[in-house]
C-alpha cells in the first residue's frame, strides 16, 4: 500500500516507501528503500553516507501513524510526536539498503498513544525505540 493513502507526509519528508502489512490501530509494517540519492546523504557524511538515526526514528513514527490513521476512529486526526524513549541504534544504514520497519501500538486512546518500533536491515536490528504520541485534529484551528 502507498503510505500517502494514509499519512499526510510528502516528499521530501515521506520516509516510508511501502506499507506491507497493517492491522488498524494495532500494528504496521513497511519498507524504506535507500537509494543514495536522498537529500541527507550528501552531508551525512561526505565519503561515508549514513542514514541519520533521527530519520530512522521518524520513519518508524510514520509507520506507526499509518497504523493509527487506518483505524476509522481517527479519520481527520493526526498523531504528533510526544516523546521518544529507550532509543537504541545498533547498526549503520547505508545507501542501497532497505530498512524494514515495524511499529506495534501498545496503548491507544482518543487523545494519545504509545508504540514500540523496530527497524531492521536483512533481519539485523538497526534501531529500536518506544514512541509516544498525541492525537490532534488534522486541520489547525
Q: Which string of DSSP letters, residue by residue, matches 90-117?
A: -S---TT-EEEEEEEEEEE-SSEEEEEE
Give pLDDT, residue 140. 80
For CA atoms 95, 100, 90, 112, the dihedral sign is positive
Residues 101-137: tens digit of each pLDDT: 999 999 999 999 999 999 999 999 999 999 999 999 9
Phi and psi at 56, nearest 5°, equal -65, -45
Rounded to an integer, what distance in angstroms lies between the CA atom of residue 54 and that of residue 69? Answer: 22
Rounded to an integer, what distance in angstroms lies between the CA atom of residue 141 and that of residue 7? Answer: 20
Bridge partners of 78? 136
CATH of the domain at 110: 3.10.129.10
Is the overall model pTM greater than 0.75, yes or no? yes
pLDDT band at 21 (very low <50, low <70, confident <90, very high): very high
Rounded to an integer, what distance in angstroms lies between the CA atom of residue 6 and that of residue 113? Answer: 18
- Report the number of distinct structural domains present in the chain: 1
CA-closest candidate to residue 99, choices 140, 68, 135, 62:
62
Q: Which residues of 67-92 are buried (b: 16+ CB within 10 A; e: fewer)?
A: bbbbbeebeebbbeeeeeeebebeee
Instruction: Map residue 21 onto helix, strand or coil.
Output: strand
Task: Give the domain extent around 112.
Answer: 3-137
As a whole number, mean pLDDT of residues 3-7 equals 96
Residues 86-110: tens digit of each pLDDT: 999 999 999 999 999 999 999 999 9
> Which cell is 107 given?
496503548
Active site residue 44: yes
Which of the following is catalytic: 38, 44, 53, 132?
Answer: 44
Residues 39-83: tens digit of each pLDDT: 999 999 999 999 999 999 999 999 999 999 999 999 999 999 999
Instruction: Map residue 94 onto helix, strand or coil.
Output: coil
Checking if the pLDDT of 141 tops 70, the result is: no
Amino acid at each position: 500500500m502507498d503510505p500517502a493513502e494514509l499519512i499526510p507526509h510528502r516528499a521530501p519528508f515521506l520516509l516510508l516507501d511501502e506499507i506491507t502489512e497493517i492491522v488498524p490501530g494495532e500494528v504496521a509494517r513497511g519498507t524504506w528503500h535507500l537509494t543514495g540519492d536522498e537529500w541527507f546523504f550528501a552531508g551525512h557524511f561526505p565519503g561515508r553516507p549514513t542514514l541519520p538515526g533521527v530519520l530512522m526514528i521518524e520513519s518508524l513514527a510514520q509507520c506507526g501513524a499509518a497504523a493509527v490513521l487506518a483505524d476509522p476512529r481517527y479519520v481527520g486526526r493526526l498523531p504528533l510526536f510526544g516523546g521518544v524513549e529507550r532509543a537504541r541504534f545498533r547498526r549503520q544504514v547505508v545507501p542501497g539498503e532497505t530498512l524494514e520497519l515495524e511499529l506495534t501500538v501498545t496503548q491507544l486512546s482518543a487523545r494519545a498513544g504509545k508504540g514500540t518500533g523496530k527497524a531492521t536491515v536483512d533481519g539485523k536490528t538497526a534501531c529500536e525505540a518506544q514512541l509516544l504520541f498525541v492525537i490532534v485534529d488534522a486541520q489547525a484551528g
